[in-house]
Amino acid sequence: MQYYFKTSDDNEYGPVDKGKIRAWLEQGRMNQDSLVRTVDSEEWRPLNDYPELMALLAPSSSAPPSPTPPPQADVKHYAPHRGALILTFGILGVACCFPFGIAAWVLGNNDIKQIEAGTMDPTGKGITNAGKICGIIGTVLGIFCWGLRLLGFAFEQSQM
């Protein structure tokens, strides 16, 4: 027999057979209160009014057993990464204040070591590496600019 299925937002699906209804029940798209009608009827009734469909709600013996979740001991807990902080420090080191670049370089280097050792969340490796690189660039630029300032100051003093 073929059936129609009505969703909570009044969308109708069908005609569908018992196999499709079983699949939708297993997926959670339908339940015993879902509105159903036969092809030759216009009356919508809950699925539990149809004994032949209620049998589909019972777990079938041919269905494979649901996999058991892995034991909690297998779950790896990581320290959270500080990628956003390191990237922010790196950008500040390039843009305006090279001591932030030094901090980004040091923090980034330490966090990359922890990520590679498996103790820190590996999803932050890219952003942490980007912050470390910005920190290196900011530090080098800061040292270069301060060096130029000192040379300028020394040149001014020699002209007096």
Q: Read off the tokens for 37.
A: 């009608």
- What's the whole-number mean pLDDT along residues 77-96? 92
Select the highest-mean-pLDDT range: 26-35, 75-84, 108-117. 108-117
Asked if residue 108 lies in contact with residue 151, where contact means CB atoms within 8 angstroms, the answer is: no
Q: What integer pLDDT is reported at residue 46 of this predicted model?
A: 87
The DSSP result for the chain, as a single string, is --EEEE-TTS-EEEEE-HHHHHHHHHHTS--TTSEEEETT----EEGGG-HHHHHHHSPPTTSPPPPPPPPGGGPPP-BPP-HHHHHHHHHHHHHT-HHHHHHHHHHHHHHHHHHHHTSB-GGGHHHHHHHHHHHHHHHHHHHHHHHHHHHHHHHHHHH-
Asked if residue 4 lies in contact with residue 20, where contact means CB atoms within 8 angstroms, the answer is: no
Q: Show me where the domains of the chain are located.
A: 3-57, 83-159
Q: pLDDT tens across 88-145, in order?
A: 999 999 998 889 999 999 999 999 999 999 899 999 999 999 999 999 999 999 999 9
Q: Read off the tokens for 31.
A: 């339940």
- What's the whole-number mean pLDDT along residues 9-32? 82
Residue bearing tokens 């159903």 = 36
Correct CATH for 3-57 of 3.30.70.20, 3.40.50.80, 3.30.1490.40, 3.30.70.1290? 3.30.1490.40
Asked if residue 138 lies in contact with residue 124, where contact means CB atoms within 8 angstroms, the answer is: no
Q: pLDDT tens across 38-75, in order?
A: 888 888 888 888 888 777 776 654 555 556 655 555 56
